Amino acid sequence: MIVYEVRVVIEPEIEPAYRAWLTPHIQEIINLPGFTGADLYTEADPSGNPCFVMHYHAQNQESLDRYFAEHAPRLRADGIAHFGNRFSATRRVLTGLARFATSRA
């Protein structure tokens, strides 16, 4: 299991527009070949600004590499076209080792 994490801190003034843009953006990514879904979180940022964290679930590293080569530049440019420099993004790739679940019914 591969998780591609994107953490975005935005200026408070663009939050409504960013939220409206974010849902179809996430949907576009997970509809690409090799993705199985995504999770969206909020996080307290030390700056006090709104922060969103997306975990995109890729089938394997090859699927993620294909995304980076064929789709990421266009999708990143779309965010910049909409919001300019009013946000900052960091990204990382997590490779799953194990998944645990409760045994409670």
Give the span between the Cα atoms of 101 and 2, in whole angstroms.
18
* Cα dihedral 21→77→60→63 (10° resolution): 110
pLDDT of amino acid 104: 84
Structural domains for the chain: 2-95 (3.30.70.100)
pLDDT of amino acid 1: 86
* Cα dihedral 9→12→24→1 (10° resolution): 20
Spans of the chain, pLDDT less than 50: none
pTM score of the predicted model: 0.93
Q: How far is CA 14 from CA 2, 50, 97, 102, in A?
A: 30, 10, 37, 39
pLDDT of amino acid 28: 98
Give the span between the Cα atoms of 29 and 16, in whole angstroms.
21
Give the span between the Cα atoms of 100 and 38, in whole angstroms.
18
User: Are 3 and 39 spatial neighbours (Cβ–Cβ below 8 Å)?
Assistant: no
Give the span between the Cα atoms of 1 and 20, in whole angstroms.
29
